[in-house]
Amino acid sequence: MEIAANVPSNSSSNLVDQVRHAAAGIETAHEKLKASISVNNNDAVKHLVVQQTSMVPVILAQQIKLLDSLEKKFADVFTSACHAEIEEIATVSKHVQQTMEAIAINVQPQASNDLFQAITRLNLLQQRISGKMMKFRM
Separation CA 27–CA 56 (nearest Å):
8
- pLDDT of the residue at 138: 52
Residue 124 has pLDDT above 90, yes or no: yes
Domain ranges of the chain: 12-31+44-134
Q: Where are the alpha helices (DSSP H) in 37-108?
A: 44-53, 56-74, 76-105
CA-based nearest residue to 31, from 87, 94, 103: 103
Separation CA 119–CA 74 (nearest Å):
26
Residue 111 has pLDDT above 90, yes or no: no
- pLDDT of the residue at 40: 60
Number of other residues whose CB lies within 10 A of the CB of residue 61: 14
- pLDDT of the residue at 42: 60
pLDDT bucket at 88, cuts 50 / 70 / 90: very high
**Which pTM value belongs to this model?**
0.79
pLDDT bucket at 128, cuts 50 / 70 / 90: very high
Residue 46 has pLDDT above 60, yes or no: yes
pLDDT bucket at 1, cuts 50 / 70 / 90: very low
Tell me whether residue 66 is exposed, middle or buried, using C-beta atoms within 10 angstroms of its C-beta: 0 to 12, 13 to 18, 19 or more. middle
Q: What's the whole-number mean pLDDT along residues 68-73?
A: 86
How much is the mean pLDDT over the chain?
81
Amino acid at residue number 74: F
The per-residue pLDDT for range 23-39, each reduced to its tens digit, is: 888 888 888 888 877 76
CA 92 distance to own-chain centroid: 6
